[in-house]
Chains A and B, each alone.
Chain A
Amino acid sequence: MAIVFKKPHALTDAPFHYCPGCTHGICHRLVAEVLDELGIEGNAIGVAPVGCAVMAYDYFNCDMQEAAHGRAPAVATGIKRVHPDKVVFTYQGDGDLAAIGTAETVHSAARGENITIIFINNTIYGMTGGQMAPTTLPGQVTQTSPYGRDIKTQGNPIRISEMLSTLDGPSYIARVALDTVPNIKKAKAAIKKAFQNQIDGKGFSLVEVLSTCPTNWGLSPAEAIKRLQKDMIPYYPLGVYKDIDDENK
């Protein structure tokens, strides 16, 4: 019988612990498909974050290191400097990358560290039960912004892709979303480019992936996708924010 659809080799058989409707599963699959298609699983070393994706080390079939909260880009830097010929990537959420790990994120980007970062932005801390994230939208209700995020007292969200694209170090910064089939295809293309850039020695690449958290948003999976489209994309516009290939044209 012909196989028309199968699990990527770069994913293990461990069952995902993610909630129903969470888009981490899609994003894991996209990363794994890219590892397969580029033939780099055996050459790849991943770094898992602290947050919902903490156990990504059990899901990806390549060698993995589990980092302290926010420190994945520093850990990846250490690995990459030991094995410059290997493909090193991190997979981080918004609390991890854009709050506690801001310094590590910005400076690995500024160094142009030749690593790939997959950044999940779902505007909330998922693992700890739905607290305000650095990316939580103005007015958004979370456990720690129960009256809606008040920018006067709780500050403004951070647009990581825009911010990092002002640096000279990065080679590729893009924001994608996992809301529709065409967008998922675009997300995969961006992730693939972010890995290909590293293989080609072009330096730091980051793909910001707008994702859903139905559980902590208090929405059904379908409603969560609608919120991503209605509230998140206008605040976090999709697109390529930096691409040295374009600049070199």
Chain B
Amino acid sequence: MSEKVLMKGNEAIGEAAIRSGCRHFFGYPITPQTELSAYMAKKMPKIGGVFLQAESEVAAINMVYGAAGAGARAMTSSSSPGISLKSEGISYIAGADLPCVIVDIVRGGPGLGGIQPAQSDYFQVTKGGGHGDYHLIVYAPNSVQEIVSLTADAFNKSEEYRVPAMILGDGTLGQMMEPVDFDSVPEPITTNKDWATTGTGLKREHNIINSLYLSPEALEKTIIERQKRYDIIKEKEQRYEAHDIEDADIVVTAYGTTSRVVESAVKTLREEGLKVGVIRPITLWPFPVKVFAEAANTAKAFLSVEMSMGQMVEDVKIAVNGKAPVYFFGRTGGIIPTPQEIIEEVRKIAGGLK
């Protein structure tokens, strides 16, 4: 029988990363992800790993660049303002096709914003953040148990595609404690890292980790090659959880912490007899467009609930493609929507459908 332990979300990321073969963690303190750095600082020296507190988020992500380029499974974590600082390095990592995992425990913004949970960095993590044509594979767990499995998946998929991956959480998810087991952590995959800088040993041509191509033709070629991998990811890696969408008049969608509030609201609504279904994106990039497109054939309306002023709703609209109206409800600045607010919003939409 599997053994369950009570753990904070942030710590679970750390333990899952270690079990996924990560031995190099480069951090910088910021609320609300601090427990992850503290966990790594405690664990890494005991297992022959490296925990290094960098001088800045900028330095930390560049240490990840170096470590990942040298062939290691490397990780860094931060929260919104820190991810803005890391965005330079993330762009270079994407441009050099290096695998790594970046954790973003989102807090309210813009600027210093606040330290309470938010989802107002959806655009930043799914549409870029740094410069250039690039994407991260973005996983949005909604429980501590799912944090564990998605952290492992993030390392494996990042290596499989040589695309950096992100675990996107928020202060609630990072700080709350839930029982977890680590039996679900898959074996780390091994990929051929013959591109890594490990020293030539005078036995091969030198390897170069780089994102600079002064010839436009050469640069375009690398971007197109990378886009082909993105296309495969978009085809194969869309992940979501959905229920009750077959007969749903209204499909409510939310990710992460918000999805748990939505579940509670939808339970009440269905008990009232309203035909409400749920789609919970697990990957935010690639966005699970297929399930939305399919649901749009029967559903009469969609509602995106977010802790933002409306960001994911744009991707929902693209996926629904005009087949049904797409509504938005959100709270922001560190406020979590209540089930009652969502219930009222759905009732309003349902009233309009009659």
Contact = CB atoms under 8 A, between A and B. Distances in A.
Interface of A: 12, 41-45, 47, 54-55, 57-58, 60-68, 71, 74-83, 86, 103-104, 106-107
A101 to B, nearest CB: 9
B202 A79 contact: no
17 contacts: A45-B198, A57-B208, A60-B206, A64-B197, A65-B197, A71-B89, A74-B63, A76-B66, A78-B63, A78-B65, A79-B69, A79-B70, A81-B52, A82-B50, A83-B198, A103-B56, A103-B58
A74 B89 CA distance: 11
**From A43, A54, A60, A66, residue with most partner B Cβ within 10 Å:** A66
A74 B59 contact: yes
B246 interface: no
Interface string B80-109: 000000001100100010000000000000
A61 B197 CA distance: 12
A65 B209 contact: yes
A63 B200 contact: yes
A47 B66 contact: yes
B111 interface: no
B197 A77 contact: no
Could you say which of A12, A45, A57, A80 has the most chain B C-beta atoms within 10 Å of its C-beta? A45
Nearest to B98: A65
B138 to A, nearest CB: 22
A64 B96 CA distance: 12
A125 B293 CA distance: 53
Contacts of B62: 67-68, 71, 74-75, 78, 104
A86 B65 CA distance: 17
Nearest to B89: A68
B198 A78 contact: no
Given A42-B203, A63-B208, A77-B59, 17 more contacts: A12-B206, A43-B201, A57-B208, A64-B209, A65-B66, A65-B208, A66-B210, A67-B65, A67-B66, A68-B92, A71-B65, A74-B59, A74-B60, A77-B52, A82-B66, A103-B56, A107-B55
Interface of B: 24, 26, 50, 52, 54-56, 58-60, 62-72, 74, 88-89, 92, 96, 197-203, 206-212
Residue of A61, A82, A106 with highest tally of chain B CB at under 10 A: A82
Contact of B199 (A65, A76, A77, A83): A83
A79 B24 CA distance: 10
A149 B59 CA distance: 30
